[in-house]
Amino acid sequence: MHHPVALLAALAEPTRLAALRLLRDGREHCVCELMEMLGASQSRMSRHMVTLRQAGLVVDRRDAQWVRYRLNPAMAPVVRRLLEAALELPLRQESLAA
């Protein structure tokens, strides 16, 4: 398992959390799809995905000029529970106070 600080830091960035929300559907998504859906540049999205891969949250597969990502199927159960809990949190800060 990866270091908890790296895992929590990977989850703490809004674009990365949004990418994980999209990958939650269980399918592979290429960087081009994630870029379009999240309004991020190719270089920015790629950097975010590298961080998620290094944290053990996603795996990648090369497909011609694109890299396709999906949630890591070998993710430790405790990490998957943490991810699911993070994805269940409301998107807006004001919602947390309720």
What separation, in Å, do the N-terminal and C-terminal C-alpha atoms of the chain show? 34
Given a cut of 50, is residue 16 above it in pLDDT? Answer: yes
Q: What ranges make up the beta strands (E) of the chain?
A: 29-30, 58-63, 66-71
pLDDT computed for residue 66 by the predictor: 84
**What pTM was estimated for this model as a whole?**
0.87
With cut-offs at 50, 70 and 90, classify the pLDDT of residue 69. Answer: very high
Task: Compute the average pLDDT of residues 42-51.
Answer: 95
* CATH for 4-88, options being 3.30.1330.40, 2.40.37.10, 1.10.10.10, 3.40.50.300: 1.10.10.10
Task: Let me know: does 75 contact 56? Beta carbons within 8 Å.
Answer: yes
CA distance 46 to 89: 25
With cut-offs at 50, 70 and 90, classify the pLDDT of residue 98. Answer: very low
Least confident among 7-16, 38-47, 87-96 = 87-96
Mean pLDDT over each residue of the chain, to the nearest integer: 90
